[in-house]
Amino acid sequence: MSSTASKLDPDRQLPSSGQRSSCYHKGLKYLTNSPKKADRCSSRTKNGKFPDTTNTPLRNLALCRKPPGSVSPAKRQINEVKETKTTVNCVTFPLPGEGPEQQLLKPNEWSYCDYFWADKKDPQGTTHVTGFEVLLQKQLKGKQLQKEMAEFIHERIKIEEEYAKNLSKLSLSPLAAQEEGTLGEAWTQLKKSLHDEAEVHLKFSNKLHTEVEKPLLTFRCDNFKKDLKKYDHHIADIRKQLASRFAGVEKARKALADRQKDLEVKTQQLEIKLSNKTEEDIKKARRKSTQAGDDLMRSLDLYNQTQSKWFEEMVTTSMELEKLEVERVEWIQQHLRQYTTLRHETDMFNQSTVEPVDQLLQNVDPAKDRELWVKENKTGEVRPVDLDI
Amino acid sequence: MSSTASKLDPDRQLPSSGQRSSCYHKGLKYLTNSPKKADRCSSRTKNGKFPDTTNTPLRNLALCRKPPGSVSPAKRQINEVKETKTTVNCVTFPLPGEGPEQQLLKPNEWSYCDYFWADKKDPQGTTHVTGFEVLLQKQLKGKQLQKEMAEFIHERIKIEEEYAKNLSKLSLSPLAAQEEGTLGEAWTQLKKSLHDEAEVHLKFSNKLHTEVEKPLLTFRCDNFKKDLKKYDHHIADIRKQLASRFAGVEKARKALADRQKDLEVKTQQLEIKLSNKTEEDIKKARRKSTQAGDDLMRSLDLYNQTQSKWFEEMVTTSMELEKLEVERVEWIQQHLRQYTTLRHETDMFNQSTVEPVDQLLQNVDPAKDRELWVKENKTGEVRPVDLDI
C-alpha cells in the first residue's frame, strides 16, 4: 500500500494502525479539516453500552453474501435485548437513532470519504460491490473517457490534414494562370492564399497533436491502473482479515456461552447437595468461564483493531482518489481550453491570408492592363490613307 | 453588323458609309474625345501628291500572302519616281516620314483603335493575322480565363463541402459521451461546435456557388462568341471587297498605260507623214486615252470608299471590344472581391462557434461534478463503530 501511495503522493504519511479503539481518531488525523468535530462524532465508540450484538453465521461471513440489515437466526432467540448496532458483511454500524449523531467528516464537501462506507448490491443483485469499488470504477471510467477525448481530437487532426492537403493542391492548379496585368496579379495571389490557408490548418493540426491529443493521451501512464489495483487489493485484504476476526469473535462468544451454562448447572447441583466434590467443580467451572470471557475480549479487541485499520485506509485512500479526480477534471479542462485557443488562432491567421488578395484586388485597373497588353501585342499605329494615281 | 452591334450596345449608331474621301472624319465621329485633333491628323488625305503608287500583283491580293512593306515586281520598273505611300495586303499607308505627322486618335489612352491597323505574320510566319483578329483573340482568351476562374472556385466549393461533411460527421461521434457534470456539458458543446463549424463552411460553399462561381460562369452567354464571329466576318468582308477593288485599280491603270502608248505611236506617224488618215486616228486614240483615265479615277474612287468604310468599322468595333474588355476585368474584380468578403465572413462566424465552448469550459468545476456524482452513486454515509460484547 505505502509503495502505491508514494507513487501517487510521496508526501503522504500512512496511519500507524494497531492501537485499539482510538482508531477513528487516527483515521481522522488524515482529514484536512475540523479534527474536533471528527473527534466528537467518533468519541461515542468509547462509552457504548454492552448488550448482546447481532451475530452473523460464519458461512455467510466467509461467502460475504449476507444482505445489509438482515437478521441472523441466532438473533431471534435473544430478542428481548434492545439492539444498538448491526454488523453487515462483517462491518459494524450503529442502528438508526442509536448512539450520538454522526457529523460528516468533511461537511459541505461531498467528499468521497463520507459517502462510501456501505457495500451495495450490484445491478444484478447477485453479488455486492464495496463502496470503495464504486470509487475505483469511477477512476477507471474517467481514464477511459480521457482516452476517448484524445481519440476525438485525433479524428479532428485527420480532418484538418485532409483539408490542408486539398487546399494546397488546388492552389497549384494552372487554371487561369494566363490572366495578365493587375488582374493577373490579384488572381495569382488569390490562388497563393489557398496555400497559406493550408499552412494555417496544417499548423493547427500539428499543435492539436502536441498540445491537446498527446497530453490527454499520456496523462497518467499505464502505471495508473496498476496503482488502482494495489489500492483495491490492499483494502480487500483488510476486509478479508476483518471477516476472519469476526469469525473469531463469534467462536469465542459461543465458547463463553457454553462455559456459563456449565457453571450454572454446577451451581444448581451445589444447592441440592448432590455431592461434596461440587465445591471444587464450581471453582473450576468459574475459572474456565472467566477464561472464556477473556478470550472473547481479546478477539473483540483484534476485530476492532482491524476495523479501525480499514476505516483509516478507507478515509486516506478515498481522499487520494478524490484528489486524483480533481486533477483529471482540471487537466482536461486545461487542454480543452488549449483546443479553443488554437481554434481562435486559426481563424485569426486565416483572416490574414486574405488581406494581400484584397490589396491586389484594389489595385486592379482595366486601363493599366490595356496599356500593358497593347504595348505587347500592337500591330501598327500608322493609319491608312487614300490611294491616288 | 448593325444587329450584332445593337446586341452589345443598343445606342451605338453605325457609320453611314459611302460618301467618299471624308471617310476618315466619319470614322472619327465615333471617338469620344478630341475630334479636332482627329480631323487634323486625317485631313492630309485630301492634299496628297499624285506619284505612281506601289502595285501588288492580283494573285497575291487574292491569297493575301504578301508580307507588309515588301515591294511588287511592277514597282521595280518605275523606280525613278519618289514614293510616298505603300499598299500592304490591299491597305494603303503613308511611307515613314511622308505626309503630315499622324496624331493618335485617343492619345495617352492606349486605345485599341490606335494600335491595330497593320496585319502581322502569325508565329509560324506562313500566314498573317489582321490587327483586328489579334483583338478578337484577346476577347476569346478573356472569356476562357473567366471560365477557368469559375472552375477554380468550383473546386474550392467541393473542398469546403467535403470538409463540412467530415466535421459534422465527427460531431455526431459518441466518443466520451458518458462524461458527466460541468465537464460533460463543456465536452458536449465542444462536439456540437464542430457541427456549427460545418454549417459555416457549408454556407460559405453555397454562397461561393451563387455569388461567385455562377456569375463568373454565366457572364456573357454563348451569344458572345457568335457576336464576335459577326464582327469578324463583317470586317473580313470589307477587306475582301477592298482587295477586289484594288485589283480593279490595277487593271484600270494598265489599260490607261496601253492607251497612252497607242496615242504616242499614232502621234509619231503623224510627224513623218506616212498617211493622211492619221488626223482621224489620233483624235480617236486621244478620246480612248481620256476614257481610260476616267475609268482609273472611278476605280480609285471605289477603292478609297471601301478603305474608308473599313477604317470606320475598325475604329467603331475596336472601341466596342475595348469597352467589353473593361467590363470583363471589372466584373471579375467585383466577384473576386465577393470571394474575399465571404472568406472574411467565414472566419468571423467560425470564431463564434467556439465562444459557447469557452463559456462552458469556464464553468467546469471539479467540486460541483463530485457533488453531482456522489449524490448519484453514494453507498452509505453511516461510519462503522466498535463492536462490543
Predicted confidence (pLDDT) per residue in A92-122, tens digit: 999 988 878 899 999 999 999 999 999 988 7
Which residue did the predictor score with more confidence, B356 or B48? B356
C-alpha separations of B239 from B92, B313, B381 in Å: 12, 11, 108
Nine cell digits for residue B250 = 490595277
Residue A47: the pLDDT is 33
Please provide the DSSP assignment of B273-313 as one string.
T--SSHHHHHHHHHHHHHHHHHHHHHHHHHHHHHHHHHHHH
B76 touches chain A (CB under 8 A): no
Judging contacts by C-beta atoms under 8 Å, the chain A residues touching residue B44 are 385
CB contact set of B264 (below 8 Å; sequence gap of 6+) = none
Banded pLDDT at B55 (limits 50, 70, 90): very low
- For the ranges A170-174, B101-105, B206-210, which has the lowest average pLDDT? B101-105
Each residue's pLDDT tens digit, B277-303: 677 888 888 999 999 999 999 999 999
The rounded distance, in Å, linking the Cα atoms of B152 and A175 is 6
Residue A269: the pLDDT is 78
Q: What percent of chain A has pLDDT over 90?
A: 65
User: A72 φ, ψ to 5°?
Assistant: -80, 150
Residue B244: the pLDDT is 96
Residue B92 and residue A385: Cβ atoms within 8 Å? yes
Each residue's pLDDT tens digit, A52-69: 333 333 323 233 333 333
Query: A52, A81 in Cβ contact below 8 A?
Result: yes
pLDDT at B81 over 70: no
Residue B202: alpha-carbon gap to chain centroid: 36
The rounded distance, in Å, linking the Cα atoms of B110 and B272 is 67
The rounded distance, in Å, linking the Cα atoms of A72 and A53 is 11
The rounded distance, in Å, linking the Cα atoms of A194 and A200 is 10
- The average confidence (pLDDT) of chain B is 81
B226 touches chain A (CB under 8 A): no
Nine cell digits for residue A27 = 483515521
Residue B175 and residue A149: Cβ atoms within 8 Å? yes
Residue A53 and residue B387: Cβ atoms within 8 Å? yes
Banded pLDDT at B10 (limits 50, 70, 90): very low
C-alpha torsion angle, residues A145, A147, A148, A152 (rounded to 10): 140
Which residue did the predictor score with more confidence, A23 or A227? A227
- Find, in chain A, the residue whose alpha carbon is nearest to that of B46: A386
pLDDT at A37 over 70: no
Closest CA to A218 of A137, A150, A140, A158: A150
Banded pLDDT at A274 (limits 50, 70, 90): low
CB contact set of A194 (below 8 Å; sequence gap of 6+) = A167, A168, A170, A171, B156
User: B295 φ, ψ to 5°?
Assistant: -55, -50
pTM of the entire predicted model: 0.79
Each residue's pLDDT tens digit, B235-283: 999 999 999 999 999 999 999 999 999 998 888 877 776 666 677 888 8
Closest Cβ–Cβ partner in B159, B186, B326 for A336 = B186
B145 touches chain A (CB under 8 A): yes
**Mean pLDDT score, A333-358:** 96
Residue B384: the pLDDT is 95
- For the ranges A305-309, B101-105, B364-368, which has the lowest average pLDDT? B101-105
Query: A116, A135 in Cβ contact below 8 A?
Result: yes
Banded pLDDT at A276 (limits 50, 70, 90): low
Each residue's pLDDT tens digit, A240-262: 999 999 999 999 999 999 999 99
Closest CA to A127 of A72, A67, A73, A71: A67
Which stretches does DSSP call E strand in A18-115? 85-88, 91-94
pLDDT at A20 over 70: no
The rounded distance, in Å, linking the Cα atoms of A314 and A316 is 6
B151 touches chain A (CB under 8 A): yes
Judging contacts by C-beta atoms under 8 Å, the chain B residues touching residue A172 are none
Burial (0-12, 13-18, 19+ Cβ within 10 Å), A193: buried
CA distance A150 to chain B (A): 9
Residue A300 and residue B388: Cβ atoms within 8 Å? yes
Closest Cβ–Cβ partner in B85, B130, B187 for A387 = B85
Angle between helices A278-362 and B278-362 (to 10 degrees): 160
pLDDT at B373 over 50: yes
Each residue's pLDDT tens digit, A145-165: 999 999 999 999 999 999 999
Closest CA to B92 of A388, A317, A14: A388
- For the ranges A48-52, A104-108, A210-214, B212-216, which has the lowest average pLDDT? A48-52
Neighbours of A334 (CB within 10 A): 13
User: A129 φ, ψ to 5°?
Assistant: -115, 145
Residue A54: the pLDDT is 35
Judging contacts by C-beta atoms under 8 Å, the chain B residues touching residue A187 are 149, 336
Nine cell digits for residue B367 = 467540486
Neighbours of A136 (CB within 10 A): 19
CA distance A363 to chain B (A): 10
Residue A31: the pLDDT is 53
Instruction: Give just the sign of the alpha carbon dihedral B180, B182, B185, B191.
Output: negative
B141 touches chain A (CB under 8 A): yes
Residue B300 and residue A387: Cβ atoms within 8 Å? yes
Which residue did the predictor score with more confidence, A348 or B36? A348
The amino acid at A274: L
Judging contacts by C-beta atoms under 8 Å, the chain A residues touching residue B102 are 381-383
pLDDT at B2 over 80: no
Banded pLDDT at B125 (limits 50, 70, 90): confident
Each residue's pLDDT tens digit, B154-164: 999 999 999 99
pLDDT at B365 over 60: yes
Residue B277: the pLDDT is 66
Closest Cβ–Cβ partner in B325, B367, B373 for A370 = B325
Angle between helices B131-171 and A366-377 (to 10 degrees): 130
- For the ranges A79-88, A135-144, B93-102, which has the lowest average pLDDT? A79-88
CA distance A58 to chain B (A): 16
Residue B6: the pLDDT is 34
CA distance B56 to chain A (A): 13
CB contacts < 8 A (A, B): 324
Nine cell digits for residue A333 = 479542462
- Find, in chain A, the residue whose alpha carbon is nearest to that of B372: A110
Closest Cβ–Cβ partner in B346, B374, B384 for A311 = B384
Residue A175 and residue B149: Cβ atoms within 8 Å? yes
Please provide the DSSP assignment of B150-162 as one string.
HHHHHHHHHHHHH
Closest CA to A54 of A94, A102, A96: A94
Banded pLDDT at B388 (limits 50, 70, 90): confident
Task: Region of B69 please: left (phi>0), alpha (psi -120 to 50) or beta.
Answer: left
Closest CA to A329 of B370, B372, B357: B370
Residue A309: the pLDDT is 97
ipTM above 0.90, yes or no: no
Residue A52: the pLDDT is 31
C-alpha separations of A336 from A12, A332, A333 in Å: 30, 6, 5
Q: Which of residues 341-380 of B touch A (CB under 8 A)?
A: 343-344, 346-348, 350-351, 354, 357-358, 361, 364, 366-367, 369-371, 373-375, 377-380
Each residue's pLDDT tens digit, B306-344: 999 999 999 999 999 999 999 999 999 999 999 999 999
Which stretches does DSSP call E strand in B39-196? 85-88, 91-94, 120-121, 128-129
CA distance A285 to chain B (A): 21
